[in-house]
Amino acid sequence: MNRLSLIVAVISATLLTAAPTLTVSAAEIPTYAPLPPALPPGTKLPTVVIMSMGGTIASRGTPRLNVANYGGKGVPRVDPQDWFNDEPELATIANIRLEDGRPPVERASGETQGDDLRVAARLRVLMQDPTVDGVVVTHGTNTMAESAFLMNLIIDTAKPIVFVGSQRPWTALSGDGPRNLYDAVRVAGTKEAAGKGVLHCMNQYINTARDVSKTSAYRVQTFKGIDVGAIGFADPDIVKFYREPLRRHTMASEFAGRDYKELPIV
């Protein structure tokens, strides 16, 4: 061994023996997306009613990769109880009550104006129930913004009403329905959501019913408050609001509190 090789060998041996051993415990590794904080024992959960008005979130597709042509004649719909059975996490964030406000399965025309008014009448009753803290309304995305805006005008309440749906059927691989429903229940059970009018929550974005619009036929990030943006987010660890809607809605609306039997065709 020549002199240069000997020097290199000595330096290498010194560094190896002197190098400290680095150990990292699991507790020191931060998680990328924190979970919602566990509720303290004895915490009273909010009571949230999930009202189904159908839509993609209440549809099944076969096979699981089918996210475009699903449902149809002979394919069973997803009942509200199916959501609760498939998503036991809902019971950890709220006392869930289930209601089915869908039109009859045999009706070919689907949802009508009368269905909206029928559900609106039921929502008025639920909002007067002192044991109910909030309501989640599941709905098809094609007319969700319009139905939510109607409720924003005619329901006289300060309690949260949150519309939610999905762009993929409940049974789809990587379906957005389960997470959207979970987040909507979190928003409806959050005290900070009170007094903000009817809200819409999908893809973690919280928008007002008045301002939200559908911008894509099947992208999961389709709903946006185009002119004013989201007012908050259902982040993994917290539901957070950043702005207040200032335009009249619900209790301050001139149309609220009436039992409408029909509406003019517009």
| pLDDT at site 9 | 60
SS3 content of the chain, % helix, strand, coil (to 5): 30, 15, 55
Query: Is the pLDDT reported for residue 7 higher than 90?
Result: no
Q: How far apart are CA 103 and CA 66, in angstroms?
A: 24
Please give the full DSSP string across 61-119, using - where no structure is assigned: -SSTT--SS---TTPPP--HHHHHHH-GGGGGT-EEEEEE-PPPTT-TT---HHHHHHH
Lowest mean pLDDT segment, chosen from 101-105, 129-133, 154-158, 196-200: 101-105
Tell me the per-residue pLDDT of 191-214, one tens digit each, with 9 for 90 and over: 999 999 999 999 999 999 999 999
Q: Is 17 a catalytic residue?
A: no
| pLDDT at site 22 | 45
At 4, the pLDDT band (50, 70, 90 cuts) reads low
**DSSP H helical ranges for the chain:** 3-18, 80-86, 113-127, 144-154, 177-188
The domains found in the chain, sorted by start residue, are 47-252 (3.40.50.1170)
Contact criterion met (CB below 8 Å) for 137 and 151? yes
| pLDDT at site 24 | 46
Tell me the per-residue pLDDT of 96-123, one tens digit each, with 9 for 90 and over: 999 999 988 776 567 888 899 999 999 9
Rounded to an integer, the average pLDDT of 28-47 is: 66
Rounded to an integer, the average pLDDT of 224-235 is: 93
Rounded to an integer, the average pLDDT of 223-232 is: 92
Give pTM, 2 decimals.
0.82
Q: How far apart are CA 170 and CA 78, in angstroms?
A: 8
Residue of 47, 56, 141, 250 with catalytic role: 56
Which range of 70-79, 88-97, 253-262 scores highest in mean pLDDT? It is 88-97
Contact criterion met (CB below 8 Å) for 35 and 237? yes
| pLDDT at site 264 | 82
